[in-house]
Amino acid sequence: MRHSALIRVTHWITTLCFLALLVSGVEIVISHPRFYWGEDGNVLNPPLFKLPIPASRSSVPTGYLYVLPDQNGWSRYLHFQAAWLAVLTGVLYIIHIVFSGYLRRDLLPREGDLSWRAISLAIANHIRFKRPSEESYNLLQRITYLAVIFVLFPLVIWTGLAMSPAFVSAVPVTVTALGGQESARTIHFFVSLFLLLFLVVHVAMVCRAGFTNRMRAMITGRAGTDREGM
């Protein structure tokens, strides 16, 4: 499939940002691997759930007799910087796909595509890697990409901003609409897991569909393919 230069550039910038956010996010979670619901959350409150890992702070009870090295300083700085770069890249990407016709042509489902029969056929074809009649995304891919671009990414940005005291002081509804800062943190965690799952499936499908051709297409803009990957 043909990819424009801007699509390719934003794809790789987003990839680097996501990896930076993933690494720094893990370090941030390790500092307090307990999650709460509402506005308040600390070691005196019972958690909604907790991750079965040691913390990097001795004051956080995790059941382990040791703590991990505390990397919370650089990880928060990197998380903040990578997040804003990802947001700016995402805005540029959305503007491009809207005004270039890419959204309508390649991502929006076509008329009649959202019937149960069409969805079932798309899932079956995707599992069998059956190539569609034209070089384009199949229905399952379109729905997945739309969900990631217009649901998961906005939600992870919103919940991230809801954890920023400076932003919340200016726009309080950012956090009140989510039920509190700790609620925002918990939602942010689960949305991040869904994005990580998408990345794993995306890479796996690219590998099975022809890694070399797919990578060449996303680097040079054009490559022959023999199977359709996510």
The pLDDT, as a whole number, for residue 88 is 97
Q: What one-character-per-residue DSSP string does 81-137 give? A: HHHHHHHHHHHHHHHHHHHSSHIIIIISPPTTTTSHHHHHHHHHHHHHT---SSSS-
pLDDT value for 105: 85
How far apart CA 96 and CA 13 sit, in angstroms, is 15
Sequential pLDDT tens for the chain (230 residues) = 567 889 999 999 999 999 999 999 999 999 999 999 999 899 989 999 999 999 999 999 998 989 999 888 899 999 999 999 999 999 999 999 999 988 988 888 876 666 666 667 666 666 555 544 445 677 788 888 999 999 999 999 999 999 998 899 999 999 999 999 999 999 999 999 999 999 998 898 888 777 888 888 888 876 654 444 44
pLDDT tens figures, 30-77 = 999 999 999 989 998 999 999 999 999 999 999 898 999 988 889 999
Predicted local confidence at residue 228, as pLDDT: 44
pLDDT at 171: 94
Distance CA 207, CA 230 (A): 10
pLDDT of amino acid 21: 97
Residue 35 backbone dihedrals phi, psi, to 5 degrees: -125, 145
Q: Give all domains of the chain, ordered by start, each with its CATH number.
A: 5-220 (1.20.950.20)
The pLDDT of residue 67 is: 92
User: To 10 degrees, the CA torsion angle through 192, 198, 202, 203?
Assistant: 40
Distance of alpha carbon 226 from alpha carbon 228, whole angstroms = 7
pLDDT at position 133 is 45
> Which residues, in sequence order, are CB contacts of 219 under 8 Å at separation 6+?
8
Q: What is the pLDDT at residue 108?
A: 86
Q: What is the pLDDT of residue 4?
A: 85
